Amino acid sequence: EELVAKAIAPVKREYLLPPPLNSVVKEKKSKRQLKRERIQERKTASHICPDVAKTGNPSACQYGGNCRFSHDLDAFLAQKPEDIPGDCPFCPYGIACRFSSTHKKKSSEINGLKKDVQKLLWKDQMRFPRADSELKRLGLDSRPQKKSKDSSLRLNAREKRIIDFRGKLYLAPLTTVGNLPFRRVCKGLGADITCGEMAMCTNLLQGQASEWALLRRHSSEDLFGVQICGAYPDTVARTVDLIDSECRIDFIDINMGCPIDLVVNKGAGSSLLVKPTRMKNVIQVASSTVEKPITVKVRTGFFEGRNRVDSLIADIRNWGASAVTIHGRSRQQRYSKLADWGYIYECTRKSPPTLQVLGNGDIFSYTDWNDHISECPELSSCMIARGALIKPWIFTEIKEQRHWDISSGERLNILKDFVHHGLEHWGSDSKGVETTRHFLLEWLSYTHRYIPVGLLDVVPQRLNWRPPSFYGRDELETLMASDSAADWIRISELVLGKVPTGFTFSPRHKSNAYERPENG
């Protein structure tokens, strides 16, 4: 009870380890130095030209001697790491592939950026007839547009498609770790609804391939949405118009809760919570531009102690949103302290019956899910975020109504599934292998926080508990509990082979919720 009161996980005494010594943090390199190293590395034999690798012919590249990659096949094969055991999931990489078996040619992913569309976006020549029509009607257009031939593009409210979120398990859009391979893992473990990582509207409208990659969808994602983030009605309207035309999706979610400074300082994300007029214009024009359902994700408010979603909840439906997800923290809180579910219930009960409300925050077991649904039957569902990062089998637990004391071997199989999906998504050449490894390591920076059910004196584990250092029931379980990046790399080598010489890793995301005791 004393440990729980301090937000420290009550691990059984026989499994406790002495706390590890602090590791030395290496000095970061400058952006200029990193760029110079990337350019130099690109000229080495390990970076074979894709056209040469695919055909096995040094003269196949259209750029010839001006190509920025190597054309030396012998040098490439001499330094190429040994193949990884297993089958190639999908491969256009030729000799660069790290698998020796027969290549498959068919991919199960959709929503790629077409080259002709990308060129139009680059040249600012893309037409957005529906968006421009609605912007003009609402008096929100900020730039002159060429006249559209279709003047009857406004959608009747009755034409809106409806998605029933009630009772469905919703995997939250998660930056970096919520990639397509991770979503496939969660689908296999019971998630019903998936959503792509947050994509910035301006980057999508500029045709940035890296941003468009966030919209990709796998065939197993049968109920799938994309999440976009924008500061102004015109950019959001044109983005939803473009996505609706170029992608196969079921709904579009607008992020109005992102707390990141870079996003907030541009007037997007949670900064819209203090700009209700602009918030209205964004939702209204997006909803009237496309017939796909528009959903919104918000926080309780911008400043701690000054909640305001309850005063906007009815308007959000009137503006055209089909559903709203409320994260029970303010922007100022980020991810510290516990989510305020009492306020989520209050907003839900104030919402009109036609607006589906979903709650979000700190769900880490089936009992958490049950408690929220029984406490507030008006909730359509709950969105699961960090809980799924730490233990993606939470979806199985909720559907089977049990605390799963999952073994280390079963957890390793889940990691193997991720790797298989990753190689199919990012590629099976050396670059694809290391990209898969990078995202696996990012995910492992969360999974080590999981404490096996059999090791706890109190079940279930709470999301705000800080895990002490502990032994597992076998060597692999102990390794998986380590908070050392060196041990995460060892785990990656179990499924992806040895890391390249000089390989280092530092996790991109470090949640506030585990850094300070008072955040409990």
Q: Which has the minimum average pLDDT: 77-91, 255-269, 385-399?
A: 77-91
pLDDT tens track for 20-69? 555 444 556 777 877 777 777 666 767 778 777 777 777 788 888 788 77
Closest alpha carbon to 247 in 281, 273, 224: 224
148-152 average pLDDT score = 39
Q: Report the share of the chain in percent with pLDDT over 90.
A: 66
pLDDT at 509: 67
pLDDT at 156: 45
Q: pLDDT grade, residue 188 (50/70/90)?
A: very high
pTM above 0.85, yes or no: no
Query: Is 50 exceeded by the pLDDT of residue 520?
Result: no
Mind telling me the catalytic residues?
Answer: 258
Query: Is 60 exceeded by the pLDDT of residue 336?
Result: yes
404-425 average pLDDT score = 96
pLDDT at 433: 93
Say how far apart CA 124 and CA 465 lie, in whole Å: 50
Closest alpha carbon to 280 in 302, 312, 251: 312
Query: Is 60 exceeded by the pLDDT of residue 449?
Result: yes
**What is 115-140+161-400's CATH number, 3.40.50.2300, 3.20.10.10, 3.30.70.2190, 3.20.20.70?**
3.20.20.70
303-321 average pLDDT score = 93
- Would you call 209 exposed, middle or buried from its count of C-beta atoms within 10 A (0-12, 13-18, 19+)? exposed
Query: Is 70 exceeded by the pLDDT of residue 117?
Result: yes
In sequence order, what are the residues at sequence separation of 6 or more whose Cβ sits closer than 8 angstroms to the Cβ of residue 48?
69, 70, 71, 72, 73, 76, 95, 96
Range picked from 3-7, 9-13, 66-70 for highest mean pLDDT: 9-13
State the sign of the Cα–Cα–Cα–Cα dihedral 457, 459, 460, 464: negative
Q: Which residue has the higher pLDDT, 495 or 101?
A: 495
Q: Report the share of the chain in percent with pLDDT over 70.
A: 86
Q: pLDDT grade, residue 155 (50/70/90)?
A: very low
Q: Break the chain into its structural domains and give their ranges.
A: 115-140+161-400
